[in-house]
Amino acid sequence: MSEERLRIAIQKSGRLSEGSFDLLKSCGLKVSRGKDKLYGRVRELPIDVLLLRDDDIPSFVADNACDIGIVGQNVFEEERLAGEHDAPAVEVMPLGFARCKLMLAAPKEWSFDGADMLEGRRVATSYPELTRAWLAREGVNARAVMMKGSVEVAPRLKIADAVCDIVSTGATLDANGLKPVAEVFDSQALLIRNAADFTPGKQAVFDALMKRINGVLTSRDAKYVMMNAPRDAVAAITEYLPGADAPTVLELAGSSDKVAIHAVCRESVFWDTLEDLKKLGASAILVLPIEKMMA
């Protein structure tokens, strides 16, 4: 039944789309795009995909044109603060990709020593609500001036004194004589849904999708870690391993004081982690990727 297909909105092209398509792919879902490229279908589960501009996604989900969507936390929160919907879309969970920061940037010649410097000034931004909320938190009286694009040219054109924008490398700011001075909002991709209950049919599809997404997210950072270690260091090492359940401890042939430890670490294993494990007496440390995991 067509009305039982779950409709998901994702960004058509841009900084969210690759991560969104990758997530669906990791969930075993292949999106076949229609001729108009605005609409895709998934065969493995009854899911339809709408390909939109990211700015339209929160409204489409709030208005029930889509059931769920993937959008940047920055856009979602800006829309929520603008309060244009009686029943705005609601957050399901963060997805861990498209991480970026909304930063306040000021002319390089300012020796910025706090938000107070903005008192009575103008800040150009595509995110006036998030900017206003931050200014209010900082107790500063400044104006957020809405600009849809090319925010970083505003100070040169004397439209504003500072800007508030998404910063990745800082190169664009630098080219315009600006420097990032304060973090306003920390963002990543978010799964959102319509606020109303789904029909039982849609709920079942949603639950199946959530199970797969959770599986992908938990195995994404997870690693299978193996090492040799002194028998009396097992407790300390177990304590140290990031997000590990009880590890498997195995005898090593021909050695009575050393054992092998195998563990699934659910959180990121960094080089620092390995250095620390070595300090605890571990040797021959191997870190292997995990392809799939189900609790």
- Binding residues for Zn ion, rule: CB under 5 A, are 54-55
Q: Is 155 in the site for ligand ATP (CB under 6 A)?
A: no
Q: Is 11 in the site for ligand ATP (CB under 6 A)?
A: yes
Q: Is 14 in the site for ligand ATP (CB under 6 A)?
A: yes
**Which of ligand ATP, Zn ion, none binds 74 (CB below 5-8 Å, type-dependent)?**
ligand ATP
**Which of Zn ion, ligand ATP, none binds 98 (CB below 5-8 Å, type-dependent)?**
ligand ATP
> Can you tell me which of 29, 50, 98, 145 binds ligand ATP, judged by CB under 6 A?
98
- Least Å distance, CB 190 to ligand ATP, is 9
Count of residues touching ligand ATP (by CB under 6 A):
16
**Which of Zn ion, ligand ATP, none binds 100 (CB below 5-8 Å, type-dependent)?**
ligand ATP
According to CB under 6 A, which residues from 59 to 88 bind ligand ATP?
72, 74-75
Give the full edge-to-edge strand order of the sheet including 90-94: 31-33, 39-42, 47-52, 6-11, 68-72, 189-193, 90-94
- Residues 161 and 112: their CA atoms lie apart, in Å, by 13
**Which of ligand ATP, Zn ion, none binds 104 (CB below 5-8 Å, type-dependent)?**
none
- 102 within 8 A of 177, measured Cβ to Cβ: no
Binding mask 99-118 for ligand ATP (x = CB under 6 A): xx------------------
Scanning 28-36, 82-90, 92-100, 212-220 for contacts with ligand ATP by CB under 6 A, the matching segment is: 92-100
Binding mask 262-291 for ligand ATP (x = CB under 6 A): ------------------------------
Residue 142 in tokens: 């400044």
Q: CB 252: neighbour CB atoms within 10 A?
A: 13
- Residues 11 and 257: their CA atoms lie apart, in Å, by 56
- CA separation, residue 208 to residues 28, 48, 182 (Å): 12, 14, 41
- Residues 174 and 109: their CA atoms lie apart, in Å, by 12
> Can you tell me which of 55, 91, 129, 221 binds ligand ATP, judged by CB under 6 A?
55
Nearest C-alpha neighbor of 128 from the set 165, 156, 159: 165
* C-beta closer to ligand ATP: residue 16 or 135: 16
- Residues 163 and 104: their CA atoms lie apart, in Å, by 6
Q: Is 166 in the site for ligand ATP (CB under 6 A)?
A: yes
Residue 237 carries which DSSP code? H
- CA separation, residue 140 to residues 115, 135, 143, 152, 186 (Å): 7, 5, 9, 21, 20
* C-beta closer to ligand ATP: residue 74 or 176: 74
Cα of first residue to Cα of last residue in the chain, in angstroms, is: 31
Scanning 42-50, 53-61, 153-161, 286-294 for contacts with ligand ATP by CB under 6 A, the matching segment is: 53-61
> Can you tell me which of 168, 248, 268, 283 binds ligand ATP, judged by CB under 6 A?
168
Burial class (CB in 10 A: 0-12, 13-18, 19+), 15: middle
> Can you tell me which of 131, 187, 219, 273 binds ligand ATP, judged by CB under 6 A?
187
Long-range contacts of 25-30 (CB under 8 A, 24+ apart): 26/216, 26/220, 27/209, 27/212, 27/213, 27/215, 27/216, 28/212, 29/212
Footprint of ligand ATP (CB under 6 A): 11, 14-16, 53-55, 72, 74-75, 98-100, 166, 168, 187
